[in-house]
Structure 1
Amino acid sequence: MALKTVRACCLFLSLVMGLVCGLEITSSGPPSIEKASGESVKLDCQFTLANEDSGPLDIEWSLRAPDNQREDMVVLLYAGDRAYEDYYAPMKGRVHFNSPDPKNGDASISLTGLKSSDSGTYQCKVKKAPGIRSKKIGLIVMVKPSRPRCYSEGPMQEGKDIVMKCVSKDGTNPMQYIWEKTSGNKLLPSTATLDTAGGTIIVKNASASASGSYRCTASNRVGSDECVLQLNVTPPPNTAGIVAGSIIAVLLILLIIAIILFCFCRSRHRKKYEKEICNEIREDVPPPKSRVSTARSFTVGSQRSSLGSMSPSNLHEYVKPQYDKIPSSEEFERPPSHAPLPPPTAPRMAGPNLSRMGGIAVMIPAQNRDGSIV
């Protein structure tokens, strides 16, 4: 009984050892590969079969999900003696088996035109019942630095701090920036401070010896590129002369403004004065002579002399002129040549005729033109 038990155990162990020594993946290589974008990579997966592995051969390449919340994406599949290469759309046309007949023990694949999105962990799983084996390979697709841009900040003058920068727009970190001088003594200024991670170099209290050509190289593990900067440190400008010139210019502008204001005020005052003179009535000018009083006195005197020399019999011949009407302003301002004629006087009668008619002669004093007695 004990002998049968020992034989059964040996038979079981032999079966287990046969399974263990059956299907094996024999390829060896680094657990991860770093490649630059645009390049090609080969993911190696070599295997061997045993006599016990009699089932159909299945080979599956998949891109493992970064977390457990997502499913693994099948990239390439070989089943039923046929390769299926259109499982993963982002890699369509870029991935294929390295061997035309993978069942001969070569399940390696080639991936061309690498992109940064191709980075991840790839798993090769070979199944041939009852054997199952798998292998994982990490792929890191890095972007090499693009051509950096070199430029400077701050005034390029002696005694000032000059900042030179080098920036690469594209590139996978970690990146490193190295500055070097390519002209003159080819040594960086003693006051220069270099930041290799940020690509900045600061030259404090720059002197004329800092002038020259500088080169910046941006690099990472998959590539590098460079740019050149020409630095020209100049003497400081004549600050005193600039300040003096600015002051003189300001004073000239103020003087011109003052002259313009003075002329404007003077012109305005002159116009105001002329306007007041035109409206002012001068007191030393005598008023114009009244022609109305002269005409009326003359008329009244003439009337009285005429009436005195007339008798009641010839009163009907006398027509009283209308001198009680005040002349208008136009008649008053009419020049002497157009002055109205004096009213007609009645004809004087001689003394004998007057006595014959019963009149009494009256002595009338002489009058001048203004009507006053002489």
Structure 2
Amino acid sequence: MGAPARRALWILYVCFTALRTNALRVSMRESTVEVVRGDSVILPCSFFASSPLSRLNIIWTLAPFSNPESPIQVIVYDHGQIIEDPSLIGRVGFTGIPWSADIMVNDTQISDAGIYRCMVNNPPETADASIGELLLSVLVAPSLPACRWDGDMEAGGSVTLSCSVAEGVPTPEIRWDKLNPEEISLPINMEGELSGSVQIVNVSLQTSGLYRCSASNLLATVNCYINLSVYSAVAQSHSGILQGVLLTLSMSLMLLALLVLLAWLHRTSQDGRQRVSKEEEEEEEGYNEIRYTPSLMKRSFV
């Protein structure tokens, strides 16, 4: 049976009951209603009046979960006029006035959640159970969790993984898992409703890996991740020694190359000087021979 048929049957039942008692009656077709934040929702309120509706008065109030002791007036229908709460203008309205007291709330917010009351009067009729009540829950997907870690990442130390979400209705379930080499669920310590942590003591190289925090409720599951890298002081020391040896070897090779280069330059310089000296000597010998040749030639001619 569809929703319109159920609603019609309910109204007929209310009308039949009211005729028997000859009094104004109000009934709520639902006692609880759920809506996802941002969506629209209809809050049902049925009534039957045997007198003309010229003096009909309908008042909807809300006792929010955040402050149940201070109810607010959501919307009023009084003698043909509609008055909305200033904070809800444009988001609330009647759907079938004056024959139905149902209202619709658009773009629902967390602040809309709470206990709603529908009060109907139609003078001169006497009222009998003229106030209906329902609970509205606004569902919110978990916000993206924030992951962080704190502690000593050296082997043998302790590390704390923390995860928190800002919002979520119903309250999200928070869990921690290690993802590799195989997925392992970790015991969690809850710190309030929206935060949970895991403490890992005596960490080792096997502790290294990818960790995931999940926040889940009826609407969604969201995750954040932390990659832990545990180091060993001994291994780091060996690594430092190896790096020192490699650095020393590199410097020695550079120094040796520099010495070879200097020796080669020195040898090249000496060879150059020797070659220049030899050339000068040869030039000088040639010059002397040319200088005395004319004299010899003259004496031979005489």
The aligned residue for residue 61 of structure 2 is: 62
Alignment map for 1:71-86 (pairs within 5 Å): 72-82=71-81, 84-85=82-83
Equivalent in the alignment of 1:44: 44
Cα-to-partner distance string for 1:177-233 (whole Å, 9 max, x where unaligned): 111233322124xxx542245310112222323322222112356654221222222
- Find the partner of 1:148 among 145, 150, 170: 145
- Aligned equivalent of 1:338: none
RMSD in angstroms over aligned alpha carbons? 3.3
Indicate conservation of the 8 Å contact 1:146/1:169, yes or no: yes
Point out where structure 2 has 5 or more consecutive residues left out of the alignment.
1-17, 242-302
In structure 2, how many angstroms separate the alpha carbons of the residues matched to 1:114 and 1:54? 31
- The residue type paired with residue 66 of structure 1 is P
Give the % identical residues: 26
Distance 1:217 1:128 in 2: 53
Partner of 1:205, secondary structure, is coil
Quick check: 1:152–1:165 contact (8 Å CA) kept in 2? yes
1:103 aligns with 2:98: yes
- The Cα of 1:124 is off from its aligned counterpart by 0.8
* Paired residue secondary structure (2:206): helix
Partner of 1:195: 189
1:115 aligns with 2:109: yes
Instruction: Return the alpha-carbon distance in structure 2 between the equivalents of residues 53 and 19 of structure 1.
Output: 18
SS across alignment from 1:39:
coil
Aligned residues: 215
Conserved 8 A contact 1:193-1:203: no
Paired residue for 2:165? 168
From the superposition, tell whether residues 76 and 238 of structure 1 become closer, same or farther in structure 2 (CA, over 3 Å). same
Quote the residue 2:30 is aligned against: 29
Contact 2:41–2:105 (CA<8 Å) still a contact in 1?
A: yes
Q: Is the alpha carbon distance of 1:140 and 1:59 closer, same or farther for their aligned partners in structure 2, counting shifts above 3 Å?
A: same
Distance 1:141 1:158 in 2: 47
Cα distance in 2 for residues equivalent to 1:229 and 1:22? 66
Q: Secondary structure at the match of 2:184?
A: coil
Give 1:125 deviation, angstroms.
1.3
The 1:115/1:237 distance shift into structure 2, 3 A limit, reads farther
Work out whether residues 119 and 132 of structure 2, in 8 Å CA contact, stay in contact via their aligned partners in 1.
yes
- State the Cα deviation string for residues 221-259 of structure 1 (Å, max 9, x = none): 6654221222222333468789x9xxxxxxxxxxxxxxx
Q: Which runs of 5+ in 1 are unaligned?
A: 1-16, 245-374
Give how far 1:62 is off.
2.0
Q: Report the Cα offset of residue 49 of structure 1.
A: 3.0
Alpha-carbon contact 2:95-2:103 (below 8 Å) kept: yes
User: How has the CA–CA distance of structure 1 residues 240 and 209 changed in structure 2, closer, same or farther, with 3 Å as cutoff?
Assistant: closer
Contact 1:26–1:46 (CA under 8 A) maintained in structure 2? yes
- Partner Cα separation in structure 1 for residue 38 and residue 207 of structure 2: 40
Q: For the residues of structure 2 that align with 1:35 and 1:224, how far apart are their CA atoms?
A: 18
Structure 1 distance, partners of 2:223, 2:40, is 25
User: CA shift at 1:22, angstroms?
Assistant: 3.5
Q: Deviations over 1:249-299 (max 9, x none)?
A: xxxxxxxxxxxxxxxxxxxxxxxxxxxxxxxxxxxxxxxxxxxxxxxxxxx
Q: Does the 8 Å contact 1:60/1:74 carry over to 2?
A: yes
- Distance apart, 1:166 and its partner CA: 0.9
Deviation at 1:93, TM superposition (A): 0.8
SS in 1 for 2:152: coil
Name the counterpart of 1:314: none
Is the Cα contact below 8 Å between 2:176 and 2:187 reproduced in 1? no
> Aligned partners of 1:169, 1:93: CA distance in 2, in Å?
28
1-side partners of 2:126 and 2:221: how far apart? Answer: 46
Q: Does 2:120 correspond to 1:126?
A: yes
1:90 and 1:111 mapped to 2: Cα distance? 12
Q: Which secondary structure does the structure 2 equivalent of 1:90 belong to?
A: helix
Q: Which has the higher contact order (CA 8 A, sep 6+)?
A: 2
8 Å contact 1:57–1:126 — kept in the other structure?
A: yes
**Corresponding residue SS for 1:209:** helix
Q: Which has the larger radius of gyration?
A: 1
| Deviation (angstroms), 1:88 | 0.8
Shift of 1:118: 2.4
**TM score, norm. by length of structure 1:** 0.49
SS of equivalent residue, structure 1 residue 135: strand
Question: If each structure's strand is expressed as a fraction of its own residues, which one has the higher value?
Answer: 2
